[in-house]
C-alpha cells in the first residue's frame, strides 16, 4: 500500500491536469500472444469496453524499439477516460480528461486503478504458468494544459506563468514576440533512481482549439532498491513539487487555487 499523501505536498483546488499515466516496464514476456491479450481483457472491469492496437513503446534505457509480433494494446473505458496499456514488456494505466466538466480524480484514485489492474495482470501471468513479472522500471507522468487567460494571453507573457522562461519585452528588441515555444529540461530524482523530464510548449486544446501552454512532467527510472509503491510515491511527489517550482505564485494561487 502506498504511503499517505505528504502533508507538505502542494495541493490545488483546480489543477490543470488533463492526463496522468502510471506504469511499469518488465522483462519481455516472449510467450505472450494475441489470445492471451484477449483473455486478459475478460478479467478487466466491464467498463473497459473497447480495444485498439497502437504502435509499440520503446524500452526505457535502450535505443530503438524491440521487435515483437504483438503491438501495444489499449483497453478503453466506456467514457474514454480510463485506458489500460499492455505490451509484452510494459503495463500502464491512464486517466485522461475527456469532457470539460469532468474533475481530476487525483493521483490516489489513479494509482488505485493501476494497482488493481496490475495485480490482475500479475495473477494472469501466474495462472497461465509463465512465472512472475520481473519489473525493472517505473514511470509516472502528468500532462497539464494552461489555457490562454490563465495568467497569460501572448507568448511573450510566458514568464508570467513560468518565471524561468521570461521573455524580455523591450521596445528596442530586434526579435518580435515568439509565435512558438518549446523548452525541455531533465533533472535527477532526489529520492529515487531516475530522472524528472519536463517539457513545455505552446499548443492547442483539441476540443476547443484555444491556445494552451502544455507542460508535461515525466518521472522515470529503474526501481533499484526501492519497492514499486515507494518509487511511484517518490516519482509523483517529484512531479508535483517540480510543477510548483516552475509556476509563479500568482498563477498557483489565482488560477489553480493552491491550498497547501
Q: What are the distances in angstroms from CA 140 to CA 58, 149, 197? A: 16, 28, 11
Percent of the chain's residues with pLDDT above 70: 98
Q: What is the spatial distance between Cα 73 and Cα 81, in angstroms, rounded to a whole number? A: 16
C-alpha cell at 178: 515568439
Q: What's residue 188's pLDDT?
A: 98
Grid cell digits, residue 96:
485522461
Enter the C-alpha cell of residue 222: 529503474
Give the predicted TM-score (pTM) of the model: 0.95
Confidence of residue 78 (pLDDT cuts 50, 70, 90): very high
Q: Residue 64: pLDDT above 90?
A: no
- Kindly report, residue by residue over 82-111, the tens digit of the pLDDT: 999 999 999 999 999 999 899 999 999 999
Count of helix runs (H) and strand runs (E) in the chain: 4, 9
Q: Which residues make Cβ contacts (< 8 Å) with residue 192, sequence separation at least 6?
A: 219, 221, 224, 226, 230, 231, 234, 235, 238
pLDDT band at 1 (very low <50, low <70, confident <90, very high): confident
The set of cell numbers assigned to 246 is 516552475
Q: Where are the domains of the chain?
A: 11-24+137-260, 28-133
Three-state SS for 7-60 is CCCCCECCCCEEEEEEEEEECCCCCCCHHHHHHHHHHCCCCEEEEEEECCCCCC
Q: What is the pLDDT of residues 228-257, one digit of tens each?
A: 999 999 999 999 999 999 999 999 999 999
CB-based contacts of 162, cutoff 8 Å, min separation 6? 200, 213, 215, 246, 247, 248
At residue 191, the pLDDT reads: 94
Amino acid at each position: 500500500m502506498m504511503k499517505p499523501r505528504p502533508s507538505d505536498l502542494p495541493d490545488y483546488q483546480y489543477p490543470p491536469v488533463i492526463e496522468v499515466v502510471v506504469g511499469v516496464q518488465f522483462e519481455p514476456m516472449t510467450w505472450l500472444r494475441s489470445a492471451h491479450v484477449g483473455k486478459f481483457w475478460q478479467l478487466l472491469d466491464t467498463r473497459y469496453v473497447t480495444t485498439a492496437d497502437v504502435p509499440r513503446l520503446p524500452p526505457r534505457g535502450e535505443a530503438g524499439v524491440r521487435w515483437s509480433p504483438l503491438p501495444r494494446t489499449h483497453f478503453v473505458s466506456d467514457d474514454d477516460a480510463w485506458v489500460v496499456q499492455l505490451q509484452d514488456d510494459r503495463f500502464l494505466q491512464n486517466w485522461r480528461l475527456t469532457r470539460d466538466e469532468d474533475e481530476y480524480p487525483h493521483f490516489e484514485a489513479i494509482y488505485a486503478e493501476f494497482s488493481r489492474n496490475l495485480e490482475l495482470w500479475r495473477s494472469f501471468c501466474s495462472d497461465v504458468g509463465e512465472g512472475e513479472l520481473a519489473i525493472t522500471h517505473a514511470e509516472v507522468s502528468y500532462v497539464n494544459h494552461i489555457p490562454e487567460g490563465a495568467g497569460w494571453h501572448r507568448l511573450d507573457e510566458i514568464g508570467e506563468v513560468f518565471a524561468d522562461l521570461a521573455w524580455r519585452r523591450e521596445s528596442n528588441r530586434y526579435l518580435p514576440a515568439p509565435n512558438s515555444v518549446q523548452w525541455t529540461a531533465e533533472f535527477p530524482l532526489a529520492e529515487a533512481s531516475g530522472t524528472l523530464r519536463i517539457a513545455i510548449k505552446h499548443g492547442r486544446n483539441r476540443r476547443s482549439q484555444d491556445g494552451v501552454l502544455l507542460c508535461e512532467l515525466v518521472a522515470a527510472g529503474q526501481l533499484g532498491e526501492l519497492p514499486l509503491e515507494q518509487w511511484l510515491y517518490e516519482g509523483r511527489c517529484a512531479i508535483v513539487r517540480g510543477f510548483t517550482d516552475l509556476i509563479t505564485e500568482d498563477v498557483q494561487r489565482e488560477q489553480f487555487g493552491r491550498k497547501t
